[in-house]
Chain A
Amino acid sequence: MPISKLVGARVKRREDPRLIRGLAHYVDDIQLPNVLHAAILRSPYAHARIRAMRTDQARRHPGVVAVVTGNEIRDQVGCVPVASQNPTLRVPKRYVLAVDKVCFVGEGVVVVVAEDRYAARDALDLIEVDYEPLPVVSDPEKALASGAPVIHPEWPDNVAFRFDLKQGNLAKAFKEAERVVKQRLIHQRLAPIAIEPRGVLACYLPGEDELTLWSSTQIPHILKTQLSVMLKLPENRVRVIAPEVGGGFGSKLNVYAEEGLIGHLAIKLKRPVKWIEGRRENMQGTIHGRGQVGEVEVAVKKDGTILGLQYRVIADIGAYHQLLTPGIPPLTGLMLSGAYKIPALAIEVTGVFTNKVATDAYRGAGRPEATYVIERIIDRVAQELAIDPVKIRQKNFPRPKEFPFKTATGLIYDSGNYQGALNKALRLSGYQGWRGEQRKLREKGRYLGIGLSTYVEICGMGPSAAMPAGGWESGTVRVEPTGKVTVLTGVSPHGQGQETSFAQIVADEFGVPLDDIHVIHGDTAVVPSGIGTFGSRATAVGGTAVFQAAQKVKEKAREIAAHLLESDPEDLVFSESRFSVKGVPKKGVSLQEIALEAHLARNLPKKMEPGLTATSVFEPANFTFPFGAHICIVEVDPETGRIEIRKYVAVDDCGKVINPLLVDGQIHGGIAQGLGQALLEEVVYDEEGQLLTGSLMDYALPKAEDLPRLELARTETPTPVNPLGVKGVGEAGTIGSTPAIVNAVVDALAPFGVTHVDMPLKPEKIWRLCREKKERRAEGAG
């Protein structure tokens, strides 16, 4: 039976049967004998000195094995690491349990370890902590004001870092501008809410002096390195396993206090210890995303040509940095040029400490902010100059022949056809027709809005020189003696589906059925090396490594085949998993036979090493830059502020597509989360630093009923950065959708004189705005 080409086919996810049937193994599903359970007492205060603690009663509680405070282990476990570097960076020590002082609600204070989860949790109620509340600052702008409460005494200005980027002659741009448009923008804090909260299980074998730590993580190899530092264990004695991971969205692209803490407890108690995060802990203690307040200013000509852009932004860091916290706002800066030619550009970032949990990478990580800034401001300019938002975008796009295109921020966009994607979206959405409909409905007092977003994002992270912890990826392909193929990858899929797409790549290369391929990931003792899954890099970087390893294997197989067939390697053809002599199809040998020969090693070419396996490490020369055009059509009810999405069209270009089904899934989920930011989601802390949206009863995630039917299409512009031509798609939906939706709502409200609304676009905000503007008009008319 001939095997059709799998790359490019809508192959169903091979992961799903085990997930759907409940047969997958997440951290909490892993059972070890004699395991202990940990529960963590967390600070109810956003800022307080710990004056005293009484833990005796908890220690005496039946089933409790250990109660450990921050002071007891401050010298035994290293601090939570920060990987992103910046010359101005200030890194406060973040112990795995608070020492003397707490700086945010949810910071771990005491850990209880007990024979079962119930005893551990009950014992938390028996611990008394005497807190002396300190003044709190939860608003990043207020944290910068003079006289604001100081979070870390060594830095009384609460500044965590600064990042400046200036390119081109900005002064000239603003001098020559025919119009300057300014806008203050808020990117509210969001909670990533992976469906599986975090969890850690650690097992230390004293005889072997080996620690195995299972964690719901996106970066097992990086975690292994960092854990060995935190726990002062030789790295070759640490094994990290990311078992099934139920989503991360960046929140598990980190090294958390609990990973160090649970590892330490397992070593100290010489028994396995498990900690499973509850949803409330997840919302308090796992990183948040976004959290920027900025002011953008653009210099434009009357025809809409952008001359220069300046963005001053305050980034809400939280009380401490996490792994990549200081690296996120600079990404916003780098991507501020968006899909446009902007000759002069400046960004000034001030990272600010606040009494809140840290912000860090959340799906898009800095790029949704950049895209929102540029896509919002370009619409503001269009509105001011009365230019169609389509036209102003077209005017500023680089043309396809201008690629590779160098931005003023110093990036080199690999390939692109922005006009092509926009044209397709305009056609599919019936843009012109909707403009007519909009005019008609306005006459009837109904408010239709049409919003665009033409985004570009930075993916395939990335060249190691530009990354804090390596940007390469490893892939190993091994043909077993029986002919079955094992693929090891350093990426760590947690929902993306690379067990399917990588198998497709290898199946095509070897001409073997998909079922003969098994993709293994996430175990540092099995996969020799790796970086992990984030920044839409897994297929562009990790997939390429696997592809190259498969090619190496095939070359070796060709040599063995030539040896066995007593022919020249160049005279062999490979088809249907078999090498045969050109013109003599019957004279051939299958990959399976070659694999067995390679393993038995009785008849191999001279000096050839036995086995049929190869590893490749791919180091990309550049990032990749996917792009697309999203068009959203909404109707707004000014009486209730309700927003109804009438149509949504997304045209995304992520380069070559391995599996369209997976790409569609990524876009669907991405748009859902982007819509969440635009319309629903918002982490709210009060002035006292109390988290008001601490459960899913108060933090509104988008539900199925909130999503319109999504009409997806693609253009395909391959990247020259990797041989597969793939760019990455994990974050595109989130990056492209948010501004399209906000732009649509602002467009709908244009008759009220509305020029901007801050996210989330909750009904009350819309209603107030409409009422206010209506009243003003009435006054003006009167």
Chain B
Amino acid sequence: MIPAPFDHITPRTLDEAIRALASHGEEAKLLAGGHSLLPMMKLRLARPKLLVDLSRIAELSGIEAERDRIFIGALTTHYRIESSELLKEKCPLLPQTARVIGDVQVRNRGTVGGSLAHADPAADMPAAMLAVGAELLARGPEGERWLKAEDFFLGLMTTALGPSEILTKIRVPVLSGHHGTAYLKVPQKASGFAIVGVAVWLRVERQLCTEIGVGVTGLDAKPFRARRVEERMKGTNLAQSLVQAASSQVTQGVSPLDDIHASAEFRAHLARVYTARAIQEAAKRAGV
């Protein structure tokens, strides 16, 4: 469990970090909380020559509200999200999701940006970000750009980030009005990652679902937003039969993962069941 030799630098500014990435190309890897990267390095599945350690860059941490948006620094730990009073009040789906990531040690070290950029197909946080329609700020040699969460995840451990870009910030909306949120997952019992995880936020006006976001992780090679489910729920009164029917759409156009922990068939079944259960739970919390 000893990694291959590597160098380690601790830039003080983002520009320094971006320059290091740009000059080392494929051989450099960003180090955030390290809870995905370091195990891979110890097994020598990843052998970066250079670790660009982001921990000394102050501007990457923190949670702040600005009007109807909340900004979360990419290096914010899962624990900070889990325990943030601001988020619990304004965007509770994120603390609800952070709470069930890994274990205490992982949540204390692991970061939201690290998790999103790593894009593990079974990570929890992407589901929540997709559900609330988060936007991600990428910064590279050419400057900054905002990416929608939906456009961010491209495939198995692949994101829209360029080779020298760093995910610096996440922007999520303040969930206003009469709303409910829920993140439900079936954990893979060894790793704690999601066999299937479904994040839902929905807004209810006059007993009708006026807005809904459904993010799904664990099911496919990339986390995705279940648009078909959302469309079928919007405008309904969230009756159980409607929820069931809509949730059955979650697997449409999806190629479910298949491994020793769950077959594709079982994953698909669980996704349908948990989508329905998550919507019902969110509806209950919205007072329906």
Contact = CB atoms under 8 A, between A and B. Distances in A.
A665 B186 CA distance: 30
B2 A680 contact: no
Interface in B86-126: none
A764 B262 contact: yes
B186 A279 contact: no
A693 B260 contact: yes
A121 B2 contact: yes
B190 A280 contact: no
A278 interface: yes
Given A640-B273, A767-B269, A680 B5 contact: no
Interface in B47-72: none
Contacts of A701: 190
Contacts of A181: none
B278 to A, nearest CB: 13
A700 B44 CA distance: 22
B270 A280 contact: no
Contacts of A279: 1
Output the residue of B4, B188, B190, B191 with the most chain A CB within 10 A: B190
Contact of B270 (A122, A640, A693): A640
A278 B1 contact: yes
A557 to B, nearest CB: 53
B263 interface: yes
Contacts of A356: none
Given A280-B43, A684-B260, A764-B263, A122 B190 contact: no
- For A639, A692, A699, which residue has the most chain B Cβ atoms within 10 angstroms? A639
A92 B1 CA distance: 31
Interface residues of B, number: 20
Interface residues of A, number: 27
Interface string A672-699: 0000000010001000000011011111
Contact of A122 (B5, B43, B188): B5
A763 interface: yes
A700 B191 CA distance: 8
Interface string B258-288: 0011110010011001000000000000000
Given A764-B266, A767-B266, A700 B189 contact: yes
Nearest to B42: A278
Contacts of B189: 680, 700, 706
A697 B43 CA distance: 12
A117 interface: yes
B235 to A, nearest CB: 27
A125 interface: yes
B190 A698 contact: yes
A118 interface: yes
B266 A699 contact: no
B273 A639 contact: yes
B2 A699 contact: no
Interface string A693-733: 10111111100001000000000000000000000000000
Contact of B260 (A118, A278, A640, A692): A692
B1 A640 contact: no
B190 A125 contact: no
Contacts of A122: 2, 4-5
B257 to A, nearest CB: 13
Contact of B1 (A280, A684, A706, A764): A280
Interface string B171-208: 00000000000000010111100000000000000000
A708 to B, nearest CB: 16
A700 B260 CA distance: 12
Interface in A264-288: 278-280
A696 B4 contact: no
A640 B186 contact: yes
A639 B244 CA distance: 13
Interface string B1-27: 110110000000000000000000000
B242 to A, nearest CB: 18
A703 to B, nearest CB: 8
Interface string A765-777: 0011000000000
B168 to A, nearest CB: 29
Nearest to B274: A640
A698 B260 contact: yes
A692 B261 CA distance: 11
Given A693-B260, A764-B263, A700 B1 contact: no
Contacts of A118: 2, 5
Contacts of B44: 125
Contacts of B4: 122, 125
Given A640-B273, A764-B262, A767-B269, A696 B190 contact: yes
B36 to A, nearest CB: 11
Contacts of A642: 186
A698 B5 contact: no
Contacts of A700: 188-190
Given A280-B43, A680-B189, A693-B260, A117 B2 contact: yes
A770 to B, nearest CB: 11
A700 to B, nearest CB: 4
Contacts of A706: 189
Contacts of A763: 186, 266
Nearest to B190: A700
Contacts of B273: 639-640
A58 to B, nearest CB: 14
A698 B191 CA distance: 6
A695 B39 CA distance: 11
A699 B269 CA distance: 23
Contacts of B1: 278-280
Contacts of B5: 118, 122
A606 to B, nearest CB: 65
Nearest to A695: B43
A386 to B, nearest CB: 33
A680 B191 CA distance: 12
Nearest to B262: A764
B286 to A, nearest CB: 24
A767 B4 CA distance: 43
Residue from B5, B44, B189 with most neighbouring chain A CB atoms (10 Å): B189
Contacts of B190: 693, 696-701
A168 to B, nearest CB: 43
Contacts of A640: 186, 270, 273
Contacts of A280: 1, 43
A513 B270 CA distance: 60
Contacts of B43: 280, 695
A446 B175 CA distance: 36
Contacts of A695: 43
15 contacts: A122-B2, A122-B5, A640-B273, A680-B189, A693-B190, A695-B43, A697-B190, A700-B188, A700-B189, A701-B190, A706-B189, A764-B262, A764-B266, A767-B266, A768-B266
Given A701-B190, A764-B262, A767-B269, 19 more contacts: A117-B2, A118-B2, A121-B2, A122-B2, A122-B4, A122-B5, A280-B43, A639-B273, A640-B186, A640-B270, A640-B273, A693-B260, A698-B190, A698-B260, A698-B261, A699-B190, A700-B188, A764-B263, A768-B266
The 4 closest A-B pairs by CB, nearest first: A700-B189, A700-B190, A121-B2, A278-B1
Interface of B: 1-2, 4-5, 39, 43-44, 186, 188-191, 260-263, 266, 269-270, 273
Interface of A: 117-118, 121-122, 125, 278-280, 639-640, 642, 680, 684, 692-693, 695-701, 706, 763-764, 767-768
